[in-house]
Structure 1
Amino acid sequence: MVPRVAIVVALSLLFNAASAMVEQGIAEVRFSYVADNGPENWGKLSPNFNTCSTGKHQSPVDIMQNKTAQRQELGPLSKEYYSVNATLMNSGYSIGVHYEGKAGELNINGKKYLYKQMHWHTPSEHTINGERFAAELHLVHQTEEKDVAVVAILYKYGDPNPVVTKLMPYLPQLTRESCTSNPKTSDVDVGMMDRDYSRQPLQGYYRYHGSLTTPPCTENVVWTVLARVRSISEEQVTALREPLCKDCKFNSRPVQPLNDRKVELFKVHKKGRVEAYRNKFVPGSI
């Protein structure tokens, strides 16, 4: 079993994915979202972060709906999540929830990715037709070989989000002792969390291969961006930003060049008709 201290150190560096490099704890340098430590300079901060500057398959990206390639053979997401004990964590860079034990799994092309954690970015990192949204939730999964799959959910301002509503009483308990060169992680036990996203109807998704959206920007991530845009309140977005370091409150990396990649689209057939995700968003909440 990995000691809790090791988990905390890893998550304090990077909530964006449970990569092997992150789990080992690359904490020799701090990154942020503004000024000298901001995204445009991540690749210069450490040799371990070179891919942030040199990588050709970086994330996030702008998804141009009229340029996606429809692939029905992708099929519906094969996923299952369970109710497990969880810890709300503030890395200084993002607010996330880390799970104990088996929280669920996602199967992509016969490969099993175990569900590790979720975290928020405000505003969204991915954009659709150039439009940026109020928030983005990343559900992070990892194989035994340390490959990563992230399911991204976009949010627009509107009704409160039920998941964030459950966490609102705990957010003020998160503290930051320091946001200097080696910030410490703050965490709060939130007990049992119901993460059964399999109950939610899937209404299509976008798929592409990319990277972690924070250093070390490793290019081993399968991205699934759900087509259905959920809602979140302005109060909730403010609450998710409040505990973060001053230079990380708007924690979204700018979109990266798509280069030679194609974004694929899976549509859901409902009662004999196809949902047209190329031309519209389907609002809702989760």
Structure 2
Amino acid sequence: MHIGFRIWSLLLLLIILHPILIYAQEVEDEREFDYIKGSRKGPLKWGELHKEWHACNNGKMQSPIDLSNKRVDIIHKSNKLARSYKPCIAIIANRGHDIAVHWEGNAGSIEINGTVFSLIQAHWHSPSEHTINGRRYSLELHMVHKTTDPTSKHKIAVIGVLYKIGKPNPFLTKLIPNITSLVKDDKEHRHPGVIDPIEIQMSCRRYYKYIGSLTVPPCTEGVVWTISKKVRTVSLDQVKLLRDAVHDHAQKNSRPLQPNRHRDIQLIGP
């Protein structure tokens, strides 16, 4: 009886937590929302579409924000962002509102304040969602990490990399054949095999850091944001391909800037 009761209690707990576990991560079904200004499913309406998305309209620590010199505290540290990535089998998915790389095994992790966050996926927004001193860039990559550490206050960590128009981006260059086939064949997934996340070049020496949210529904807060200070380059053709691959309403798939609300923003580096 005692064992049976414990099993029943565990099942009940999982049933209660199920919606929480689902809505703590990004929504995959792009039909649920869009980026069109004034649309009934646009960014200003996200918080009204589902009760689980209320943070999109009512949250106090939403992303993206402007990383302004006036608000940034400069922290002089010589230690780099601790990354430990490894090659892993991945799929490339057209989620309608963006193109994403999903790693299907252990692709490595980052360590932030003693907590290890495992790499789950990466995706692109065009134009950039975050701005630096009001300047918006041509592209922004988000590397999404999660932790199962029960002692961690924050469960999601995202690394952001900004890009301006210039030389082609080497990482995207390797993915072009698969992304192109998503466009031509109107497919939702491609299986390119092993993808090494370390090939996503970024600066580990100087970076912005603040606490915000997911930039798509359900706009979950408590996300640890790390934005690389060094702006990389991407070709105009590569940006165009990423825009052509998604649905028309998401060709510009950037959420508007959110209020800063006097949050601490740090610029960490030597």
* TM-score scaled by length of structure 1: 0.79
Moved more, 224-233 or 188-197: 188-197
Evaluate the alpha carbon distance shift between residue 200 and residue 137 of structure 1 in structure 2; reply closer, same or farther with a 3 A threshold: closer
Mapped pair 1:69 → 2:77: no
How far 1:102 moved relative to its partner?
A: 0.6
Structure 1 unaligned segments of length 5 or more: list them.
1-18, 179-184, 269-286
4+ residue runs over 6 A deviation: none
How far 1:86 moved relative to its partner?
A: 1.2
CA RMSD of aligned residues (A): 2.5
How far 1:36 moved relative to its partner?
A: 1.7
> 3-state SS of the aligned residue for 1:222?
strand
Out of 96, 99, 104, the residue aligned to residue 103 of structure 2 is 99
Evaluate the alpha carbon distance shift between residue 69 and residue 81 of structure 1 in structure 2; reply closer, same or farther with a 3 A threshold: same
Q: Structure 1, residues 12-65: CA drift from partner, whole Å, max 9, x if none?
A: xxxxxxx75255968597100002211111111111111000001000000002
Structure 2 unaligned segments of length 5 or more: list them.
1-20
How far 1:71 moved relative to its partner?
A: 2.1
How far 1:242 moved relative to its partner?
A: 1.0
How far 1:81 moved relative to its partner?
A: 0.7
Contact 1:33 1:251 in 2 (8 A): yes
> 3-state SS of the aligned residue for 1:241?
helix
Equivalent residue, structure 2, for 1:6: none
Q: Structure 1, residues 69-98: CA drift from partner, whole Å, max 9, x if none?
A: 122359421111101111111100110100
CA distance in 2, matches of 1:237, 1:151: 19
Contact 2:168 2:235 in 1 (8 A): yes
CA distance in 2, matches of 1:246, 1:173: 18
CA distance in 2, matches of 1:25, 1:249: 18
Contact 1:79 1:198 in 2 (8 A): no
Mapped pair 1:58 → 2:62: yes
Count of aligned positions: 244
Within 5 Å, give how 1:142-181 maps onto structure 2. 142-144=146-148, 147-174=155-182
Contact 2:30 2:96 in 1 (8 A): no
Contact 2:183 2:244 in 1 (8 A): no
**Bigger radius of gyration, 1 or 2?**
2
What is the one-letter code of the residue matched to 2:188? S
Percent pairwise identity: 39
What is the one-letter code of the residue matched to 2:165? Y
Equivalent residue, structure 1, for 2:44: 40
